Amino acid sequence: MQSNAGIDPLIDRKMVVDMGKVYIGDIDPHQHPLASPLWGSHHGLPPLLLLASASEVLKDDVVRLAASVMRAGGNATVSLPDGMVHIWTLFPFLSQTARSMELIGQFARERWGVEIGSIA
């Protein structure tokens, strides 16, 4: 969470850590890898599509996770659109939202033959 520290308008490292405690309490994610995908085993995972804004603090973790998956012999595709805030895909008025949702749909169709609208 270093490369965009201080420029992400929505979140910072302290907020991420504090929110993590809401989910897992005082569990150390390094000791319990199911608490954070960064610290788990990355062997045998299905292909992953990871999205983060190029300008959000979580970008570094997404890049680290993808690199670890690749070192473990897996496949990880990373999309880092510039200038978006965290969770931009929830804002339908952003043009990047449509592009990112299309990328997600294309990824699902190519990997699993799944149409996003058909998931129940």
Can you tell me the distance from the alpha carbon of 64 to that of 106, in angstroms, rounded to the nearest whole number? 24
The pTM of this model reads 0.80
Q: Is residue 93 part of a domain?
A: yes
What pLDDT does 7 receive? 77
The CA R_g of the chain, rounded to the nearest whole Å, is 15
Q: Which two tokens stand for residue 21?
A: 């405690």
How many domains, in total, are found in the chain?
1
Q: Average pLDDT over the chain, rounded to whole?
A: 86
- CATH code, domain carrying 37: 3.40.50.1820
Q: Is residue 7 part of a domain?
A: no
At 120, the pLDDT band (50, 70, 90 cuts) reads: very low
Q: Is residue 8 part of a domain?
A: no
Q: Is residue 1 part of a domain?
A: no
Q: Is residue 6 part of a domain?
A: no
Number of helices and strands in the chain (H, E): 3, 2
**Mind listing the pLDDT tens digit for each residue in 64-114?**
999 999 999 999 999 999 989 889 999 999 999 999 999 999 999 998 886
Q: Is residue 3 part of a domain?
A: no
Cβ-contact 1, 58 below 8 angstroms? yes
Helices (H), the chain: 13-24, 59-71, 95-112
Q: Is residue 2 part of a domain?
A: no
CB atoms within 10 A of CB 108: 16
Residues spanned by the domain of 81: 13-118
Q: Is the torsion defined by CA of 32, 54, 57, 86 positive or negative? A: negative
Q: Is residue 52 part of a domain?
A: yes
